[in-house]
Structure 1
Amino acid sequence: GILGLILGIGIGIMFLKRGFSLGRNHPAPRALGWVMPAIMITLLALLIIAPQFGRDASGNATGPLFFSEKGPGSQYAPLLISLGVGLLIGFLAQRSRFCTVGAIRDRILLHDSHLLNGILALIAAAFITNLIIGQFSPGFENQPVAHSDIIWSFGGMVLAGLAFTLVGGCPGRQLFLAGEGDGDAAMFITGMIVGAGFAHSFAIASSPAGTAAFGPITVMVGLIICAILGATMRE
């Protein structure tokens, strides 16, 4: 996966060197910057208030928020811990300009290791933490929420690295920028959420059982689209 990500970033850098650009940033109304934070605050309020507007088939009160009963989605930290850790990570990431894709891009393109040091520190911290809590499990088999198909793991990460390089940063970086009021980043986050919904609804998202029915073709189509955009959107 990491090798695929690096290759995808390398391809994106090639397009950047050839003049790829999403266009210049332009000032926008201040209200636009509050749209994504307002949506997140609304979702948080719904989580805390937990209103129930409807009834299920058995007549029990339900909705509008629903929770996973199994799988990774059903495993989450208590609300106050999530908020506290999230605020801390958000603050540190915003101040440090943390970005996994940007770190590799800057190292290859500018020979600047400033952001890469943060990535290495994150990996080291995750490694030590997993050792302490007994969750370190090296290898390709039986990894959580992952399949062992090397080809499509590699291909999917090539697409990720290419797409994130063209858009200017990894999903985490886009999330932090959306919190700063960046409208482009907010649209990226919205698209990512909608795309995740499509992936899980139409047999695109893979699982430990293997690649999904339409996962490989979606990766190939994504690579073609990114290549076309990279080759045609220039200044």
Structure 2
Amino acid sequence: MFKENKGIILTGLIIGIISVLLVHFGNPGNMGVCIACFLRDMAGAFGLHSAETVQYLRPEIIGIVLGAFLMGVLSKEFSPRGGSSPFIRFILGFIILVGALMFLGCPTRLIFRLAGGDLNAILGLVGYAVGIIIGIFFLNKGFSLKRSYKVTKVEGYSFPVLNICLIILLVAVPSILLFSSEGPGSKHAPLMFSLVLGGIVGVLCQKTRLCTAGGIRDLIMFKDTYLFSGFIAIFIGALALNLVFGTFNLGFVNQPIAHTDGLWNFLGMVVVGWGSILLGGCPLRQLILSGEGNGDSMITVMGMVAGAAFAHNFKLASSPKGPTTNGMIAVAICLVLLCVISFMAIEIKAKVKMKGDVSV
């Protein structure tokens, strides 16, 4: 297995190490790379939410997108396309961020929390797997967001160009952005260090197709260990460096930016796993696809930004003190919406098949 999967295993080890290095040089605890948290911080930097402790334009996100873009162009895999149920994808991106901010982290941070000794993440991992299993059930029933189509190069380049503009903005005119003076948003590694390491993550993930949701999905559906081996390697790389730096802290309490409510850690990640399978990839994978020119993933990422902003404006996001009542209600609504979307996509497919309409 190692020989066949050595590329993605090496990628996972490097990403795990990069995450701990980012924390060592200033990022919040167990948050070297967290797509959900970082998109939330970026939404705050532009004033899309008013939570003053989580506002910072994260260079890691920009680096991931530009790294994926560069690798996509060099490998001739940059392929502008879109048109696959864009509004549903926006809604699913929104839903995933609500679930992630209930848990306080995306699937990559789930791995980093486990590697840092945070036992609360075990229930998050179980929830993530359960959500993926539910998603697989609907895939087997015929769930589909339909095919995508080739689009103009202008649309494909739009997201990478946007991210180039963001880094110019951060370097040249940071005064127009909002920055936290305390809390997670105030903790960050040096700008260029974060940008370069984010770029490395983007390059490696584009090359290997690394996806946390895809790893569990393929293991269950096809007994294929390729993507899952990357998942495990991230954990091993992060765990090893945490042990070296003495930042491994085994337990449920006193964990950085985490709460101990097991039920809502579980349910939050059920939402993330289920939504990721319907979308065809986890939040990290959506960023990589956006860098490759996939307009559907760009729409998904925008949905995530909107979800992050909404979650903090309406007090849906958890805190180290635990989940909020609004957040619990929101996660329950998200589960209902996932049910509706999942069943409706199957019904649409069935109707199309009955009518013999192959144009949809």
Q: Which TM-score applies when normalising by structure 1?
A: 0.93
- Is the aligned partner of 1:188 residue 2:300? yes
**1:114-152: CA deviation from partner (whole Å, max 9, x where unpaired):** 001111110000101111112111221121111100011
Among 117, 134, 141, the alignment partner of 2:253 is 141
Compare 173-182 and 74-83 and name the one that shifted more: 74-83
Aligned length: 224
1:131 to 1:214, Cα distance in 2 relative to 1, 3 A: same
In the alignment, which residue of structure 1 is the partner of 2:192?
Answer: 80
| CA distance in structure 2 between the aligned counterparts of 1:21 and 1:214, rounded to whole angstroms | 31
Q: In structure 1, what is the equivalent of residue 157 of structure 2? A: 34
Could you say which residue in structure 2 is the equivalent of 1:209? 321
1:104 aligned residue: 216
Work out whether 1:95 is the aligned partner of 2:218.
no
Deviation track 1:171-202 (CA, whole Å, cap 9, x = no partner) reads 00000000111000001111101110111111
Which of residues 275, 282, 305 is equivalent to 1:170? 282
Does the alignment pair 1:121 with 2:230? no
Tell me the CA shift for residue 51 of structure 1.
5.3
Instruction: Choose from 214, 223, 228 the match for 2:335.
Output: 223
1:16 counterpart letter in structure 2: L
Q: Distance in 1 between matches of 2:155 and 2:312?
A: 29
Instruction: Name the amino acid aligned to 2:327.
Output: G
- Give 1 or 2: higher helix fraction: 2
Q: CA deviation at 1:15?
A: 0.2
Query: Would you say 1:131 and 2:254 are equivalent positions?
Result: no
Query: In the aligned structure 2, how far is the partner of 1:50 from the partner of 1:76?
Result: 18
- Residue 136 (structure 2) aligns with: 13
Deviates more, 1:112-121 or 1:69-78: 69-78
137-146 or 200-209, which deviates more: 137-146
C-alpha deviations, 1:3-33, integer Å up to 9, x for none?
A: 0000000000000000000001111111111
Structure 2 Cα separation of the partners of residues 91 and 11 of structure 1: 31
Unaligned 5+ runs, structure 1? 53-63
Does 2:146 match 1:23?
A: yes
Q: Give, as a single letter, the amino acid of the residue that structure 2 aligns with 1:19.
A: G
TM-score, structure 2 normalization:
0.61
CA distance in 1, matches of 2:161, 2:180: 24
CA distance in 2, matches of 1:81, 1:93: 18
Which residue in 1 is equivalent to 2:66? none
Partner Cα separation in structure 1 for residue 192 and residue 181 of structure 2: 21
Distance in 2 (alpha carbons) for counterparts of 1:164 and 1:112: 18
Secondary structure in structure 2 of the residue aligned to 1:8: helix
CA distance, structure 1, for counterparts of residue 327 and residue 255 of structure 2: 19
2:180 aligns with 68
Which amino acid counterpart does residue 132 of structure 2 have in structure 1? I
Structure 1 vs Structure 2: percent identity of aligned residues?
Answer: 44
Deviation at 1:213, TM superposition (A): 2.8
Q: Which amino acid aligns with 2:314?
A: F
Moved more, 70-79 or 168-177: 70-79
Structure 1's consecutive aligned runs of 4 or more residues displaced over 6 angstroms after TM superposition are: none
CA distance in 1, matches of 2:240, 2:174: 40
For residue 59 of structure 1, what is the aligned residue in structure 2? none
Deviation at 1:72, TM superposition (A): 1.6
Alignment partner, residue 57 of structure 1: none
Q: Which amino acid aligns with 1:25?
A: S
Query: 1: CA distance between counterparts of 2:153 and 2:221?
Result: 34
With 43-52 and 102-111 compared, the bigger mean Cα shift is at 43-52
Paired AA for residue 21 in structure 1: S
1:38 Cα deviation after fit? 1.7
Give the match's secondary structure for 2:150.
coil
